[in-house]
Amino acid sequence: MIIEDNPQNALLMKRLLQVRYDIIHAEEGGIGLEMAATADPDLILVDFGLPDMDGQTLVGLLKHDPKLCQIPIVAVTAWPEETARHLAKIYGCDDFISKPINTKTFLDQISQYIKTQDPKGSNLTYAHH
């Protein structure tokens, strides 16, 4: 699952990921929460700068939901690397990926968080910044 409000960032991630995964996308945190609860994604990619809530609030809500708390959350953010690492850790994310994303390594980065060996049919959720 991707939670990202920037259309270009969301489109790039979708294009890279759809070769291996089924993707769902939300442009706002609230919608992302609702979609994650019903879709049961394998991974949530989250942007920290969403129009309706900040990253800390969104990750906190995801991590405190008994149904969603075990899903890995990876921040995808344009913050400088050290800031991103710090924020991801204190917000409760499992990791972060810096923007602009590296199109050559993005799929490999994502694959380390997906449990299944046959990802087609899994529900990858991406949250965006």
- pLDDT score at 116: 52
pLDDT at 123 exceeding the cut of 60: no
Going by pLDDT thresholds of 50, 70 and 90, the confidence category of residue 129 is: very low
Q: Phi, psi at residue 114, to the nearest 5°?
A: -95, 125
73 DSSP 8-state letter: E
- pLDDT score at 36: 97
In the structure encoding, which two tokens stand for residue 12, read together?
A: 């790039």
Global pTM reads 0.87
Residues 36, 20: Cα–Cα separation, whole Å: 19
C-alpha distances out from residue 67 to 44, 59, 98, 103, Å: 13, 14, 27, 31
**Dihedral angle computed from the Cα positions of residues 2, 119, 105 and 11, in that order, rounded to the nearest 10 degrees:** -30
Which residue type, as a one-letter code, is found at position 3? I
pLDDT at 128 exceeding the cut of 50: no
Whether residue 124 contacts residue 17, with contact meaning beta carbons closer than 8 Å, is answered with yes
pLDDT at 125 exceeding the cut of 50: no
Going by pLDDT thresholds of 50, 70 and 90, the confidence category of residue 24 is: very high
What are the structural domains, with CATH classification, of the chain? 2-126 (3.40.50.2300)
Model confidence over 33-87: pLDDT tens digits? 999 999 999 999 999 989 999 888 999 999 999 999 999 999 999 999 999 999 9
